[in-house]
A and B are shown apart, each in its own frame.
Chain A
Amino acid sequence: MPLSHVAFLILSAVALISGGLVVTRRNPVRAALWLIVALFSVAGIYLLVKAEFLFAVQIILYVGGIMVLFLFVLMLVNVNVSVRQAPFNRQWRVALATALLLLAELAYGFWRGAAPRLKALAPVAAPSHPLGNTQAVGMALYQNYLLPVELVSLLLLVAMVGAVIMAKRRFD
């Protein structure tokens, strides 16, 4: 077995186990910390498939930014109270059904993906870039997708204004 397969198995096992721990922990802060482990191992998988930019995004944005936001929100409510409450509300059945549906869809995709009828129509393999992944993303973002990038700038501005209007106490 090549080393990358071993690494994949380890990383995906860690991701699955820590993902399970996220949803079963009673203490939300601990759940959030396990989520960081899960996000890190998924980041490792990104690296294995040579998506280096996604790896960086995963660490800088998800582990660094969004998890901080998560933890802040968790600390806004009283952790000692939430520990005593049941970790699952009534929506778990819906969540389970949705997850099973997604699983069935993915399983079907894998199974049918090998069928010769669809293989002929399968999307062409991702173009192999002479550049590294991040460089290729840079070229795509700032050449092909320059319009959405500038729109994102406006979107971030709206998010900024919105965050202050909605959350700042003394805005008026």
Chain B
Amino acid sequence: MPLGPAGCLAFKAVPARNMLSNFFQLGDYIILKPEILLSIFGLAILLLDLFLDDAHKYWNAILALAGLAFAIIQVGLFWEAAMAHPGFLPYAAFDGRFTLDFFAIYLQLVILAATAIVILISVRYLEIEKAHHGEYYALLLLAAVGMMALAAGTDLIVLFIALELMALSEYVLTGFLRRSRRSNEAAVKFLLLGAFSSGLLLYGMSLLYGIAGSTKLSVISARLAERPADDPLSWIAMITLLAGLYFKIAAVPFHQWTPDAYEGAPTSITAFLSVGPKVASFALFLRLMIGCLWPLRQEWQALTIGVAIATLTLGNLAAITQTNVKRFFGYSTISHVGYLLLGVVAVGSGPSGRQGLTAILIYLLVYAFMNLGAFAVVVMLRRKNIIGDEMNDFAGLMSRAPLPAVLMVIFLLSLAGIPPTAGFIGKYYIFLSLIETRHYALAVLGVAYAVVALYYYFRIVALMFMKEAQDTVPLASGPGLRLALAVTLGLTLFIGIYPEPFIALAQQAMRPFFS
């Protein structure tokens, strides 16, 4: 890479000399480099896979990880450049349609890391499922490109195309196990409901364009502020946008696709769905609601309070009775979305309101790693001739495989929000922001449901420690799974014990919205 972080600045300082066209400068190219790298690796995997025999398919995974590593390094360099030269960020590339700011960088790093962990846990699983094709990794990388553009997009068209790039890859990956009826059915359901929600979102976007005459979020926001408070057109745009977004993040009452898609998808993809697209969809939610529909904040927050309560209630209560692990984690994800929406409710313009956004960003980071850790253990339960996605497959795990069992306990503790794990930090900041913005009732409700969550997460712990083992087949394992467990465990504990640097990062990341 001949152009280091300082190069970015140089190009910004003298744009005229380096203009490739009025609408594309070398600086824009540099800003887009992580996405370009990922795309190139994705395309290379697609082609290389044609020449790999079954025994060498793991090269696809290695290539995908290499691509992700390059992208992570590049995004990290942006962060470093921005710290060294304040004023470098936010960088509005492509005529202000793609904005690299700390918010984008932060979420891009979470998305890239999550995708890398998903690839680590996929290799062994796909071998067992006999579905080890290069297309799997190519689609994951292209989905990551879409998710990264979602985090940085500041234009309706960019955001929508990025969303569809992510969503289309998700549908295909959900149905990737072609011999499995469940996988196919899940993909069809997911596709139909996903397309419907995209339609709703697009309708809201078209109204915004009609109001503002521009697809740029900044222009739309300014135009919305000029309109009267009871303007029905803005309201309809807001409601349809919210409905589409609630679909994408799986908030009640638009959550129905979640348990079905999670149950049918390959387990490694369930892990991916519960983390990567969730983070990216929240990025879209925040970009649209805070970055664009800020003038209508009171209205969408009022709606979100109701949705958050419903999401928490349904997610937590439905999780209690599940017998399938993947469905269980589907409902558990819904309950975490409920907590994130509580954070959305707490967002405001004052210093205490900013805390709400910080809390969401920390929660997303923490949730990504603890959930992927738990899923890594679930993936290990899939062995030859054992599907391993029922709750009872956890029975007696402690006596059979003590290390994964103990790791699972730690991840479950973190998901329930018990100190000193990372999950506690996430929930703590959500509650703190609620209390500081005087949403006492919501804070109490959140704590109450945390107790319920403790109960159902401990069902798995009880199964692992108290019950007799059902089979003696050793768990699936491999270097990828071990590395994924080590990374997720390390971060879950490290963030829990020493959260300060991560909180500082999150505080930096939420600043672009309030400058």
Q: Do A and B touch each other in the complex, judged by CB within 8 A?
A: yes
B176 within 8 A of A: yes
A108 within 8 A of B: yes
Chain B residue with the shortest CB-CB distance to A152:
B161
Category for how many chain A residues contact B? 20 to 34
Contact A158 B211, CB 8 Å, known A143-B21, A146-B23, A165-B176: no
Q: Give A23 to B24 CA distance when docked, in angstroms.
A: 47
Q: Name the distance in Å between B148's Cβ and chain A's nearest Cβ.
A: 11
A1 within 8 A of B: no
Q: Name the distance in Å between A165's Cβ and chain B's nearest Cβ.
A: 6
B168 within 8 A of A: yes
Category for how many chain B residues contact A? 35 or more
- Say yes or no: B39 contacts A161, CB within 8 Å: no
A123 within 8 A of B: yes
A64 within 8 A of B: no
What is the 8 Å Cβ interface bit string for chain A, positions 151-165, against chain B (1 contact, 0 not)? Answer: 110110111011001
Contact A154 B145, CB 8 Å, known A108-B232, A161-B172, A166-B187: yes
Q: Which residues on the A side are within 8 Å of B187 (C-beta)?
A: 166
Q: Which residues on the B side are within 8 Å of A158 (C-beta)?
A: 139, 142, 165, 168-169, 172
A89 within 8 A of B: no
Q: Name the distance in Å between A139's Cβ and chain B's nearest Cβ.
A: 10
Contact A155 B176, CB 8 Å, known A148-B157, A165-B135: no
Q: Give A148 to B22 CA distance when docked, in angstroms.
A: 17
Chain B residue with the shortest CB-CB distance to A164:
B135
Interface residues of A in 116-172 (CB under 8 A from B): 117-118, 121, 123-124, 143-148, 151-152, 154-155, 157-159, 161-162, 165-166, 171-172
Q: Give A165 to B131 CA distance when docked, in angstroms.
A: 11
Q: Name the distance in Å between A24's Cβ and chain B's nearest Cβ.
A: 24
Contact A151 B172, CB 8 Å, known A105-B236, A143-B21: no
- Say yes or no: B142 contacts A154, CB within 8 Å: yes
Identify the B interface with A (CB < 8 A). 21-24, 32, 39, 43, 46, 94-95, 97-98, 130-131, 133, 135, 138-139, 142, 145-146, 149, 155, 157-158, 161-162, 164-165, 168-169, 171-172, 175-176, 178-179, 184, 187, 210-213, 223, 226-228, 231-233, 236
Identify the A interface with B (CB < 8 A). 105, 108-109, 112, 117-118, 121, 123-124, 143-148, 151-152, 154-155, 157-159, 161-162, 165-166, 171-172
Q: A121-B223, A151-B149, A159-B168 are in contact. List 11 more A-B contacts (CB 8 A).
A: A108-B232, A112-B232, A124-B213, A147-B149, A148-B157, A151-B145, A151-B146, A157-B142, A158-B172, A161-B172, A166-B187
